[in-house]
Structure 1
Amino acid sequence: MSQIIWIARHANRLDFVNPDWFLTAERRYDPPLSDDGFIQAKQLANRLKQEKISQIFASPFLRTVQTANAVAQALDLPIKLETGLSEWLNPAWMTEEPQRLSTPALAELFPRIDVSYTPRIAAKYPETKEQVRARSGQTARCLAVENYPQNILLVGHGASVLGAAMGLVGEIAQAEVKASLCSLVKVVLQDSEWLLELKGDTSHLMEVEEVIRFV
């Protein structure tokens, strides 16, 4: 039997559009989506509406939850918050461990969140590039095995999208995957081998960023 792992990066974030937001934000490393980001998330949801996805797993950061929620509404599925898909907890980007909303607080805002789900992989601040790739790759492999043969969607960040893809298909993903905002990676299991079918597709978006940003 085959299996498809879809991996999406979150849509555009408010601090990319308004950098001054960071200066007064209560949780400055956990920005929400921008207005156009919500539009992108809906475009992603429309793209995935006809796919036979059974489970949605998302990083617990607000922007990934908001992106996943648009897809969950379109597919009528719950959202499972998985810390293994979290943002790269990079000390060069973050002066301290990022503050996030708790799972109960997120569930109040997004009732589709499955509060009974226990994350499989932890993310610990600070971490190196190798560490974020290792834990997001481990997360992708773990969730793929646990949910086989179901097709699942992972919603993460630039670094964790790349790491998740590398965890399935290996080093080839590092050169081929382009994890731009709200892009889509598709990895297919065929005859015990993971194949990279989409490498960061953005054909579902009306507007696409010219330069891929990871901070």
Structure 2
Amino acid sequence: MGRAEDAEGLAHRSQQRYRLPDGARQIILVRHGASIGPTLDIIELGALTISDPVLSEDGQLQADALAHAYREERIDHIFVTPLRRTHQTAAPLARAWAMEPRVIEDLREVHLGDWEHAFYEHAAAGNPILRRMYAEESWEVIPNAEPMAAFAERLRRGIEALVALTEPGETSFAVSHGAAIAEICRQATGSRPFAFISPENSSASRLIVNADGSWRLRSFNDVSHLRGD
């Protein structure tokens, strides 16, 4: 065996595949596929009226690609939010694994207050509030938007609810939303508020919840299943 082959073999043998720590759970946080954009479709959750668009054609293709990419990975549970775009993104996964997704309401998207049904219109118009929002890294800049502290606590409750429904050593898919996943990743890493803002549609990020309840971000925004885009 030549030196190159010997070095390659040694490197291969020295690599250890990742294993969950004892007592830990793995959560694959998936952002829903692309949606149709502004819509009059809504869902009412308590006192809130929430925008509820469906997936676009591209979003459906992204969901199919996601299911194909993860078809051989061991998945123990699928979780979604009350919003349709998460159900539609999870559907190919659920069919592949013959699972019924479970809803965790607290993992839904941030509520944008007065902009809930017109965020993209304000963005397209160059509303100065949007620039201030990104500069201050705070959703609260938007009138009547969900307070940052309340948003953070709601998502922590959502992850804790998911963990309570899983066993140590299990892996779950949780189809959620861009700002929600960004906030979960921020909490896992102790980063600034918008450090992980805007993960891509159908991207996957891996969160490890250790036996002591602590969080660790293993990976962020994997879109390798969208190679053809």
TM-score by length of 1: 0.69
Report the Cα offset of residue 95 of structure 1.
5.9
1:31 and 2:50 correspond = no
Matches within 5 A, 1:64-83: 64-83=86-105
Partner of 1:155: 175
Partner of 1:131: 150
Q: Is this contact kept in 1: 2:51–2:117, CA < 8 A?
A: no
Report the Cα offset of residue 158 of structure 1.
0.8
Report the Cα offset of residue 146 of structure 1.
3.6
What's the secondary structure of 2:54's corresponding residue?
Answer: coil
Q: Is this contact kept in 2: 1:178–1:200, CA < 8 A?
A: no
Of the three residues 57, 71, 86, the one matched with 2:79 is 57
In structure 2, distance between residues paired with 1:29 and 1:161: 18
Of the three residues 136, 154, 162, the one matched with 1:143 is 162
Report the Cα offset of residue 44 of structure 1.
1.1
What's the secondary structure of 2:76's corresponding residue?
Answer: strand
Partner of 1:197: 218
Q: Is this contact kept in 2: 1:137–1:163, CA < 8 A?
A: no
* Aligned-partner residue type, residue 28 of structure 2: W
| Residues 34-93 of structure 1, C-alpha deviations (whole Å, 9 max, x = no match) | 001000011111222122111111011111110011211122211111111112111042
In structure 1, distance between residues paired with 2:201 and 2:54: 14
What's the secondary structure of 1:56's corresponding residue?
Answer: strand
Report the Cα offset of residue 162 of structure 1.
2.0
Aligned sequence identity (%): 26
| Residues 111-136 of structure 1, C-alpha deviations (whole Å, 9 max, x = no match) | xxxxxxxxxxxxxx952233222211
What's the secondary structure of 1:188's corresponding residue?
Answer: strand
In structure 1, distance between residues paired with 2:192 and 2:162: 18
**RMSD after superposition:** 2.7
* Aligned-partner residue type, residue 220 of structure 2: K
What's the secondary structure of 1:8's corresponding residue?
Answer: strand
Q: Is this contact kept in 2: 1:178–1:199, CA < 8 A?
A: no
TM-score by length of 2: 0.66
Report the Cα offset of residue 196 of structure 1.
1.6
Partner of 2:33: 11
What's the secondary structure of 1:14's corresponding residue?
Answer: coil
Answer with 1 or 2: which has the greater Rg: 2
In structure 1, distance between residues paired with 2:74 and 2:106: 23
In structure 2, distance between residues paired with 1:191 and 1:147: 12
Long gaps (5+) in structure 1: 97-124, 209-215
Q: Answer with 178-187 or 57-66: which moved more.
A: 178-187
Change (3 A) 1:173 1:8: farther
* Aligned-partner residue type, residue 87 of structure 2: V
* Aligned-partner residue type, residue 31 of structure 1: P
Change (3 A) 1:7 1:158: same
Query: What is the number of residues matched between the two proteins?
Result: 172
In structure 1, distance between residues paired with 2:153 and 2:63: 27
Q: Answer with 147-156 or 33-42: which moved more.
A: 147-156
| Residues 148-187 of structure 1, C-alpha deviations (whole Å, 9 max, x = no match) | 31211111111111233345x2424853575221111112
In structure 2, distance between residues paired with 1:144 and 1:29: 27
